[in-house]
Amino acid sequence: MKRISAAVAITAVGALAISGCAAGGGDNNDDSGLVEGSSITAAWNQAFYSMNGNTSFGNATANNNINYLVLDGFNYYNNVPELVQNTSFGTYEVVSEDPLTVTYTINEDKKWSDGTPIDATDLLLYWAAESRALDTPDFDPADFTDPETGEFTDAFPTDVVYFDSGATPTSGLGLVTEQPEIGEDGRSVTLTYDQPFVDWELTFATMGEMLPAHIVGKKALDIDDNEEAKQAVLDAIENNDAEALAPISSFWNSGFNFTEMPEDTDLVVSSGPYQISDYVADQFVTLTANPEYTGDNAPNIEEITIRFIPDPLAAVQALENGEVDIIQPQATADITAALEDIEGITVDTSLGGTYEHVDLQFDNGKNPENIFSNPQVREAFMKVIPRQEIVDTLIKPIIGDDAILRDSQLFVPGAEGYDEAAAANTSADYAEVDIEGAKALLAESGVTDTSVCILYASNNPRRVNEFALIQASAAEAGFEVTDCGSEEWGGLLGTPGAYDASLFGWQSTSLGVTNSLPTFETGGINNLNFYSNSEVDDIISQLNTEFDEQAKIDLQVELDRLLWEDFYGVTIFQFPEVTAISDRVTNVTSSILAPTVFWNAWDWEVTDAGTE
């Protein structure tokens, strides 16, 4: 149940996240550059399903590509990549370093797309959700999660306050336990951290994250008037009113989940350059320029449609047919070959920020014996994953010698610290398959049920091939690998009892040192496999407050070593990334960080050749 797509994304402060025909025309309508009637179509490999990408269920690249364009925020990454302060939305400043105190202020003219002002109540709701400071203590939602869908069940108690943001008390807004102070202007809040936090600039309302408090109040508390609803949310938070906060948190968790255009258009109220104007289930989402948007990122193109095309070759065919203008499919040798024959496009191939990996469920697996709670079995299974064969067979034909094994859970190949980490950890023990070693470990383990059900994207050809290679190799050692593949795999990640191992990609959305830590921290939002190690938690706690660059690398090297020695799972390869763009669209570039090709969609333009 978490942040995913053909790749999963990594949320702002460090939570890795999961990866109509085009027509244009019209004259420039106003000074903003918006061309009335202009439209393009892009393709993505997974359907949108939640406008709240901050929950364990909604934290997916497929969602956050769209949320990034419809929900404004204080900063974002460009394609350098470097962090850009979005001062046309609001500003933030450190007002004290001891204790760390930061004031965030929304600009006076900011409005939601329904005309309601964006103000301090929206910021305060964001804090309540992302800090979980007001949650009912010790509540565990595991028993109320549907193993078939990954969503909370109807049996979820109605009297508990639980924001499903994955916040922990040792990092990010989890360190802001004191209620923020609202400024006299009604548009600012001041946050005081319990201790320093190295990536504080990435913790609060970055683009794609902040939801409308008045909509949450209307739906959760059954209030019709926008201002009354907003006031009710403010009162509930300021008074720590559990009776009101319970439905507020419940709606925040699930109320923005939808798989087609909702009849209640309150659910698509936006603050960013675009708003969702149409959504046909499993086919496309259409984004239209938000008339209430007044920021620097005003769009040039009035309408962007994002078609969902899981099959990479089908995406290429759609590009060739002129049905889509931009694709970034999961790269295969067939894809690169097919793109060579298409005229009127630009193709960029490079290594991206996403990496493939297999995680093992330390607890709450599908196997009746909870097979991977046994370290010998985890080690045995890691020995049968054909990492090099996967790279040689599926990745090398795309990018040649750049196709290498990734040997770190934390560092990208080539980054400072990567070589040191790879030398210090035990990744080399799993470079090649060791069937006999796996057999011996499996025999010593005493397990009687060797079934391992693997969750992966069943509509992704490369993942299907990877699953088949793993299944065949594991069988030689005595594992019975079964198929938990699903087209809805993203929402199932982290769901108790749904699978035993998972195969997917993590995609970074930040350069912060704490970027990947919620994946490994006990209870972290991206800790999908119920992993827990007190030494790891201690290192993560140190990293959260460490500002010295070499010390941060040293701590990560040690953390990486512990993960491999715990038989956490294996990393496999860094994704080759292929972006193909029709010549009818300009200003399209991709970033190594999520949301990759969508990072500057407001700058895209339709060329004269593409207008009618």
Residue 434: is its pLDDT beyond 50? Answer: yes
- The reported pLDDT for the residue numbered 370 is 96
First to last CA, the chain: 44
The stretch 530-534 carries a mean pLDDT of: 97
Residue 166: is its pLDDT beyond 90? Answer: no
Query: Got the DSSP string for 21-80?
Result: -------B-STT--EEEEEEEEEESS---BS-TTSTTT--HHHHHHHHHHS--SEEE-SS
Residue 2: is its pLDDT beyond 80? Answer: no
Residue 5: is its pLDDT beyond 70? Answer: no
Position 20 confidence tier, pLDDT thresholds 50, 70, 90:
very low
Task: Report pLDDT digits (tens) over 113-163.
Answer: 999 999 999 999 999 999 999 999 999 898 898 888 888 999 999 999 999
**pTM reported for the whole predicted model:** 0.86
Question: What distance lies between CA 58 and its chain's CA centroid?
Answer: 8
Averaged pLDDT score across all residues of the chain: 92
Task: Report pLDDT digits (tens) over 28-42.
Answer: 344 468 999 999 999
Of the ranges 11-20, 385-394, 431-440, 506-515, which one carries the lowest mean pLDDT score? 11-20
Which residue is listed with tokens 């990492």? Answer: 387
- The reported pLDDT for the residue numbered 16 is 54
Burial class of residue 416 (count of CB atoms within 10 Å of its CB; 0-12, 13-18, 19+): exposed
Token pair, residue 512, equals: 């912060």
- The reported pLDDT for the residue numbered 226 is 98
Residue 15: is its pLDDT beyond 70? Answer: no
Whether residue 425 contacts residue 561, with contact meaning beta carbons closer than 8 Å, is answered with yes
Task: Report pLDDT digits (tens) over 61-73.
Answer: 899 999 999 999 9
Cα distance between residue 448 and residue 81, in whole Å: 50
Cα distance between residue 588 and residue 31, in whole Å: 21
In a 13 Å sphere around the CA of 423, the CA atoms on its Cβ side amount to: 5
17-26, 275-284, 510-519, 524-533 — which one is most confidently predicted on average? 275-284
- The reported pLDDT for the residue numbered 330 is 85
Whether residue 371 contacts residue 604, with contact meaning beta carbons closer than 8 Å, is answered with no
Residue 262 bridge partners (DSSP): none
Which residue is listed with tokens 């997916």? Answer: 60
Query: Strand, coil or helix: what is 166?
Result: coil
The stretch 558-576 carries a mean pLDDT of: 96
Share of the chain above pLDDT 90, in %: 80
